[in-house]
Amino acid sequence: MTSSGPLYLGFDLSTQQLKGLVVDSSLKKVHEAKFDFDADSKGFGVQKGVLVNEAEHEVFAPVAMWLQAIDTLLGRLKDDGLDFKQVKGISGSGMQHGSVFWNADAEQLLSQLDSDKTLQSQLDGAFAHPYSPNWQDASTQKECDEFDAILGGEQQLAHATGSKAHHRFTGPQILRFQRNYPDKYIKTYKITLVSSWIATIFLGKFAPFDISDVCGMNLWDIKAGKWNEKLLELAAGPSGVDALKKKLGDVPEDGGIHLGTVSKYFVRRHGFSEDCTVVASTGDNPSTILALPLRSNDAIVSLGTSTTFLMSTQEYKPDPATHFFNSPTTPRLYMFMLCYKNGGLAREKVRDAINAKAGVSDKSSWTEFDKHLLSTPPLAQGDPSKSAHLGLYFPRPEIIPPLPVGEWHFTYDLEANKLSSVRSVPQSPEQDARVIVESQFLSLRLRSKELVSSPGKGLPPQPRRVYMVGGGSRNKAIAKVAGEVLGGSEGVFKLDVGENACALGAAYKAVWAIERAKGETFEELIGKRWREEEFVEKIADGYNAEIWEKYGKVLGPFQDMENGLLQEQKNAGKGEQGLV
Ligand code: XUL
């Protein structure tokens, strides 16, 4: 599709793919392309975009593979008809927490790129370490314990940085890197996050962290708006805080900051205009909330490799079980997030078992799963006098709650208020379809209930709208159950480009940063241009008083089930150490 006005390019560098998406000033998507790491990359041997060292619970990605991806993706956008001359702004979304360690040659290599050669062939020598730790990495339990302890406890760390210590967070990762590879750490001239890495490549010089993604490091004091010295001191080790501060750089407050014009390399090689501006890039979750003018009390459920639940809020109410980040665009706004490792993969496991039993030849078909999801009554409760069924399905160690790999089943007798452990649902795997989907949404409801308010007269506190994004947003049966459990007085909606929400959010951020009037917020500008009828589709009714109340009655038992299992782990002496 052609458009003669200015265009804005958003990248999304995620675990399994690099995507590029282009919009015009009216927010209409005009081009997109992707590079799939498993299918398209050459020479890295990755699976699902990453390499794994099981012995140390390490998960990491080769940085050179991302360079290869950029080289190819730009070609694909050109093949899709993109005229790079029209691109006025570039921004990016990067999987959160991942870090890249650059060496002292990097600055020169970046500034002298030869447009006849690929990025991969020229920047291979720019890194102090060839790999970027991935958000799925679980190698830093020892470092997390130190982070949680240093300010007095996980409550205090969450209060200062928005989150308790997490394996994947960049501060604990830097501490481990510094201890494991002291020579490489000394040789590290700059550390970028995945988001600022994208901006750095397009800028041809180091880009700073952005004000939202910096909150995924366990190093940034959100309320004070600066690095926490004690946490830096811990991460920095023997070479000291000042050296680490230099490696990290400054953090501009304005999420729409113009970092500079695109590097000459891209002008010469791909035909970008000399005045194309590179705008701060942010993390994939902050970027997702920019894919629409999210109002307060609206929730986004992102069903990708991980499941995340996102809300925008003016209240900073940090808690060790959740995450708070600065809004990527708007001062005094925060983003609330829940992040689960077991999302799509856990549902796929149940789907596969159902398909295998039914002899379905197309292994990736959701038809049978959806059929059982919708035909099984809520809580797999045959009739109201029978017990409700609750379960937890974790093919990977979970973050919320921190339990190891496992599957657990319980019944809850509502009259006797009795929770009992059982082996499985009565009809496995068919009823598992209902119980697993409910379980994932019950966990979200339980942990977001203090943040939602009544969306209208006489309605109990719940989201006004639930927006589904990510690969799983294609599934309308899952959306129906999401609405039944979470509510959503106006319904459950899917974004037109729901599977590319992060790239779309990045492109919208570029539109806002370049075209905003003085003082105009992201929400104001995007709100004015947003065309609801074109961009979203209502895919489920949402709130249904009777069913929603029914789920309300099992929230307490659901929490008791989790707490009981956590206690069992503790008694068995496993603690979090044994979880990874
Ligand atoms: C968030 C998190 C994941 C990644 C996925 O804390 O770790 O959602 O951002 O790319």
For 436-455, how does the pLDDT look when each residue is reduced to its tens digit (9 = 90+)? 999 999 999 999 998 999 99
Q: Terminal CA-to-CA distance of the chain, rounded, Å? A: 47
3-state SS of 438-459 is HHHHHHHHHHHCCCCCCCCCCC
Stretch 126-138: mean pLDDT, rounded?
Answer: 96
**Res 573: pLDDT:** 75
Under the banding of pLDDT at 50, 70 and 90, the label for residue 484 is very high
For residue 221, how far is its CA from the centre of ligand 1 (angstroms)? 20
Stretch 471-494: mean pLDDT, rounded?
Answer: 95
Is the pLDDT at 259 greater than 50? The verdict is yes
String of DSSP letters for 292-357:
TTPPTT-EEEEESSSEEEEEEES-----TTSEEEE-SS-TT-EEEEEEES-SHHHHHHHHHHHHHH
For 528-579, how does the pLDDT look when each residue is reduced to its tens digit (9 = 90+)? 999 999 999 999 999 999 999 999 999 999 999 999 999 999 898 754 443 3
Residues contacting residue 121 through CB under 8 Å, at least 6 positions apart: none
For residue 501, how far is its CA from the centre of ligand 1 (angstroms)? 14
Mean pLDDT (the chain, rounded): 95
Element of type H or E holding 189? strand 188-193
**Res 578: pLDDT:** 38
Atom of ligand 1 nearest to the CA of 136: 7
**Res 418: pLDDT:** 97
For residue 62, how far is its CA from the centre of ligand 1 (angstroms)? 18
As a whole number of angstroms, the distance between CA 10 and CA 77 comes to 12
For residue 337, how far is its CA from the centre of ligand 1 (angstroms)? 10
**Res 296: pLDDT:** 87
Element of type H or E holding 229? helix 229-236
Atom of ligand 1 nearest to the CA of 305: 5
For 177-207, how does the pLDDT look when each residue is reduced to its tens digit (9 = 90+)? 999 999 999 999 999 999 999 999 999 999 9
For residue 411, how far is its CA from the centre of ligand 1 (angstroms)? 32
Stretch 455-477: mean pLDDT, rounded?
Answer: 93
As a whole number of angstroms, the distance between CA 438 and CA 444 comes to 10
% the chain with pLDDT above 90: 92
Is the pLDDT at 67 greater than 80? The verdict is yes
Is the pLDDT at 390 greater than 50? The verdict is yes
Is the pLDDT at 171 greater than 60? The verdict is yes
Mutate to test the pocket of ligand 1, among 95, 217, 337, 444 (most ligand atoms within 8 A of CB): 95
For residue 182, how far is its CA from the centre of ligand 1 (angstroms)? 27
Atom of ligand 1 nearest to the CA of 95: 10
pLDDT-wise least confident of 252-256, 292-296, 442-446, 514-518? 292-296
**Res 10: pLDDT:** 98
Q: What are the boundaries of each domain within the chain?
A: 7-285, 344-446+547-572
* 3-class state of residue 186 by DSSP: helix
The neighbour count for residue 521, using CB atoms within 10 Å, is: 17
Question: Which residue has the least CA distance to atom 7 on ligand 1?
Answer: 135
Question: Which residue has the least CA distance to atom 10 on ligand 1?
Answer: 95
For residue 573, how far is its CA from the centre of ligand 1 (angstroms)? 29
Residues contacting residue 379 through CB under 8 Å, at least 6 positions apart: 388, 389, 390, 434, 435, 438, 550, 551, 554
For residue 312, how far is its CA from the centre of ligand 1 (angstroms)? 17
- Count Cα neighbours of 225 within 13 Å in the Cβ-side half-sphere: 7
Question: Which residue has the least CA distance to atom 5 on ligand 1?
Answer: 95
Atom of ligand 1 nearest to the CA of 216: 6
**Res 576: pLDDT:** 45
Residues contacting residue 69 through CB under 8 Å, at least 6 positions apart: 13, 18, 35, 37, 40, 41
Under the banding of pLDDT at 50, 70 and 90, the label for residue 235 is very high
**Res 304: pLDDT:** 82
Residues with CB under 6 A from ligand 1: 14-15, 95-97, 135, 168, 284-285, 306, 308, 339
Atom of ligand 1 nearest to the CA of 285: 9
String of DSSP letters for 520-553:
--HHHHHHHH--HHHHEEEEE----HHHHHHHHH
Nearest to 578 by CA among 385, 412, 397: 397
Atom of ligand 1 nearest to the CA of 284: 9
Stretch 327-342: mean pLDDT, rounded?
Answer: 94
Nearest to 248 by CA among 179, 165, 169, 192: 192
As a whole number of angstroms, the distance between CA 237 and CA 219 comes to 14
Residues contacting residue 220 through CB under 8 Å, at least 6 positions apart: 161, 214, 226, 227, 228, 251
**Res 498: pLDDT:** 76
Mutate to test the pocket of ligand 1, among 210, 306, 322 (most ligand atoms within 8 A of CB): 306
For 71-112, how does the pLDDT look when each residue is reduced to its tens digit (9 = 90+)? 999 999 999 999 999 999 999 999 999 999 999 999 999 999
And the tokens for 47? Answer: 């699976």
Nearest to 92 by CA among 181, 212, 223: 212
Element of type H or E holding 283? strand 282-283
For residue 31, how far is its CA from the centre of ligand 1 (angstroms)? 26
Element of type H or E holding 480? helix 476-486
For residue 111, how far is its CA from the centre of ligand 1 (angstroms)? 31
Q: Model pTM?
A: 0.93
3-state SS of 488-501 is CCCEEEEECCHHHH
As a whole number of angstroms, the distance between CA 112 and CA 288 comes to 34
Is the pLDDT at 580 greater than 50? The verdict is no
Atom of ligand 1 nearest to the CA of 97: 7
Query: What CATH architecture applies to the domain 7-285?
Result: 2-Layer Sandwich (3.30)
**Res 574: pLDDT:** 58
Stretch 501-526: mean pLDDT, rounded?
Answer: 97
Length of the chain: 580
Return the amino acid letter for 350. Answer: V
Mutate to test the pocket of ligand 1, among 97, 310, 399 (most ligand atoms within 8 A of CB): 97
For 134-163, how does the pLDDT look when each residue is reduced to its tens digit (9 = 90+)? 998 999 999 999 999 999 999 999 999 999
As a whole number of angstroms, the distance between CA 168 and CA 159 comes to 18
For residue 557, how far is its CA from the centre of ligand 1 (angstroms)? 28
CB 256, CB 513: distance < 8 Å = yes
Atom of ligand 1 nearest to the CA of 14: 10
